[in-house]
Amino acid sequence: MSYSKSMSAKSDGKKKGLVKIANKKQVQTKSKDTAKSDSLAQIPDKTLIQILDLMIKSRVLEERLIKIYRAGESYFWIGGPGEEAWGVPIGMLARKGEGPKYDFLHLHYRCTPTLIAMGMDMKDSIRLMMNRVTDPSTGGRNFSNHYCFPKMNIAPVTSPIEVQYGIALGTAHAQKRLGDNAISIVTGGDAGTAEGDFASCLIWASRKGNELPMLITVQNNYWGISTSYEGQHGESAIADRARGFNIRARVVNGNDPVESYIALKEEMDYIRRTGKPSFIESKVSRLYGHSSASGANFVGNEEDCIKSFSEKLISRKLVTEKDIKRMWETYEAEALKATEDARAEGVPAAESIWDHVYANNENSDWRKF
């Protein structure tokens, strides 16, 4: 959604304080145990503006990816519009680097905001979207948002949902042994918590005396493709399941970047200090539906975190409408240029299909079995 549309959109979940969910019931965006931290004063002005800037950059990139899909220049889109207020603070707060001295990130396919905040070049996301051989994540072999950046400890985003929760245990074990206070961060959706990997993660992260330095998170958008949250969960909050394992847990309004930033910082500090896991359930919007498979159209009945945060910063006189317009335009120009550049780059050659599959193994080419 462009700047002007975003600022004038009539449907505004925040004003109503409500998010519509599938069965037409409405749930409050702020749950009971959501921290009431509206206080912008807890974060420096410069950081607040930086958060908004990165949120807009991420949204512009995602909307560009959707346009690329619609133009027939890509096969499939799935991504993170609606998770910016939550994902950007993760990327800003993570200890960035390569190897177990730094934080590992095991992310799901709505993680563009985190990657943008960590410094990913827009063009690298577009290369992946357009299956260019220059795509540093997969050499043009995977689809949108399935990033992999070893230099930033970004583990490969997987298509099978939830497997990242098991993989994250491995890097957390390595970090625990090393003792450098680095942590493993894992993200995923609400529906994915039905998978056994999620339960295994809670069990292995919380064994008494062997607790792991993990930030376990769930982005609850109340949907698993077209299946609504209602009717799928007996528990009152997903966070309650972590509490059952004595894992410190909280629920945050993931549409509020200030609340998300503060909660993430507190929990990351706690994990580094104690070596123990922490759990955050973050309530987020899903602004373009599940993926291109469901049309990738703007939904309009859920809170748009960029719109609400922009209004907040304008009313505090930290930015003007003009400043915000400039941010949208700058990033739109950058995304367009990146698309034009990527268009001129090649696609992977057919014979490279076996590269990086069971390296140097006789099973690497099934035609030779």
Ligand X SMILES: Cc1ncc(C[n+]2csc(CCOP(=O)(O)OP(=O)(O)O)c2C)c(N)n1
- Which residues would be at the binding site for Mg ion (CB under 5 A)? 189-191, 221, 223
- Please give the size of the binding site for ligand X, defined by CB under 6 A: 15
Check binding of 197 to ligand X (CB under 6 A): no
Residue 71 CA neighbour count, 13 Å, CB half: 12
Report the chain's terminal Cα–Cα distance, integer Å. 50
Residues 57/328, Cβ–Cβ less than 8 Å: no
- Bridging pattern class, strands 214-220 and 26-28: unpaired
Q: Which listed option, Mg ion, ligand X, none, makes contact with residue 100 (CB within 5 to 8 Å by class)?
A: none
Identify the residue whose tokens are 């809670």. 202
Mark the segment that binds ligand X (CB under 6 A) among 30-38, 141-149, 155-163, 263-271: 155-163
Check binding of 136 to ligand X (CB under 6 A): no
Closest CA to 205 of 167, 238, 179: 167
Check binding of 296 to ligand X (CB under 6 A): no
Check binding of 110 to ligand X (CB under 6 A): yes
For residues 178 and 251, give the distance between their C-alpha atoms in angstroms, rounded to a whole number. 30
Q: Which listed option, ligand X, Mg ion, none, makes contact with residue 156 (CB within 5 to 8 Å by class)?
A: none
Least Å distance, CB 189 to Mg ion, is 4
Check binding of 146 to ligand X (CB under 6 A): no
Residues 42/121, Cβ–Cβ less than 8 Å: no
Check binding of 159 to ligand X (CB under 6 A): yes
Least Å distance, CB 365 to ligand X, is 27
For residues 42 and 40, give the distance between their C-alpha atoms in angstroms, rounded to a whole number. 5
DSSP 8-state secondary structure symbol assigned to residue 348: P
Least Å distance, CB 217 to ligand X, is 12
Least Å distance, CB 222 to ligand X, is 8
Least Å distance, CB 230 to Mg ion, is 12
Token digits of residue 163 = 């497997």
Mark the segment that binds ligand X (CB under 6 A) among 4-12, 99-107, 132-140, 222-230: 222-230
3-state secondary structure of 179: coil
Q: Could you say which of 156, 224, 300, 348 contacts ligand X (CB under 6 A)?
A: 224
Q: What is the DSSP string of 70-106?
A: HTTS-S-----TT-HHHHHHHHHHS--SSSTTS-EEE
Taking CB atoms, the residue at the shortest distance from Mg ion is: 189
Interacting residue ranges for ligand X, rule: CB under 6 A: 110, 159-161, 188-192, 219, 221, 223-225, 290
